Amino acid sequence: MIVKGGIFDLDGVIVDTAKYHYLAWRRLAHELGFDFSTEQNERLKGVSRIKSLEILLEVGGVKLSDKDMQEAAQRKNAWYVDFINTLTPDEILPGAREFLLEMKSEGVKIALGSASKNAGLILHRLQLEELFDAVIDGNKVSKAKPDPEIFLTAADGLNMDPRECVVFEDARAGVEAAKNGGMFCVGVGDPDILIQADIIIPGFKGLSWQKMQRSISG
C-alpha cells in the first residue's frame, strides 16, 4: 500500500486534551449530583458531545429535557474552552509535530478527523494549522464514530480514495470507524483497547514516517 494521505484524530493522538474534557464532564456530573470516574470517562472517547452527555446522564441515572440537555452541553463546552484557551505548543504529544512535518516533506497530504467542535481552536493554539490540508471536525459531520462519515469526509477533503489513506486513532470507536470506511488504521495507545487496528504504536516519539510506511507496506 502506497499511502497518499494521513488522517489524524486529535485528542490522544496529537495532543492530550482528554484530561480537560474529563474535568469539564466531571464538573457537570457534580453539578447534577453524582460523581464521574476516569473509568466511566473511557466510554466518552471518540464520540460526539451530545452522545457523551447521554452516556454521562445514563451513568448518573439522571433524565433531562432536550432544552436542559442543550444547556448542560453548552456549560460543559464553555468550561472546556476555558481550559484549552491555555494550551501552548509545548503540549503537543512527543514526536507528533516531527512526524507530521516528515509526512509533509514526503508529499503526503494530511487531514484532521476529529469529533471535537473545538478542533480549529486547538490547532490554532498549538500552531499546527499550516500542516493540515483539510480539517474535518464535529461542525462538519453529523454521524458519530464508529460511523465512518468523518474519515470518509476527510479523505474526500484530500481528494483521495479512502483506500489511499491511513488513519491514526487512539479510541476504540475511532478505530472501528476507520475500518468501517475500508481504511488502514494505526492505533495510537493501548493494544488491549485498539485490537481492531492494523498496527498499534505507543506514540510518535522516535518514530519516523519512513519506518511507518515500511510497516504499512509490509
* Beta-strand relationship, 199-201 and 165-169: unpaired
Residue 128 belongs to what H/E stretch? none
Among candidate residues 9, 137, 170, 198, the one labeled active-site is 9
Instruction: With beta carbons less than 8 A apart as the criterion, state whether 17 and 11 touch.
Output: yes
Active-site residue, 11 included: yes
Residue 113 belongs to what H/E stretch? strand 109-113
Conformation bin of residue 12: beta by default, left when phi > 0, alpha when psi is -120 to 50: left
Instruction: With beta carbons less than 8 A apart as the criterion, state whether 100 and 108 touch.
Output: no
Distances (CA, A) of 125 to 20, 78, 83, 86, 91: 15, 16, 11, 8, 10
Distances (CA, A) of 33 to 36, 59, 61, 215: 10, 11, 10, 49
Active-site residue, 9 included: yes
Among candidate residues 11, 137, 170, 198, the one labeled active-site is 11
92-116 burial, b at 16+ Cβ within 10 Å, e below that, comes to bbeebbbbbebbbeeebbbbbbbbb
Q: Helix or strand or coil: residue 203?
A: coil
Q: Which residues are marked as active site?
A: 9, 11
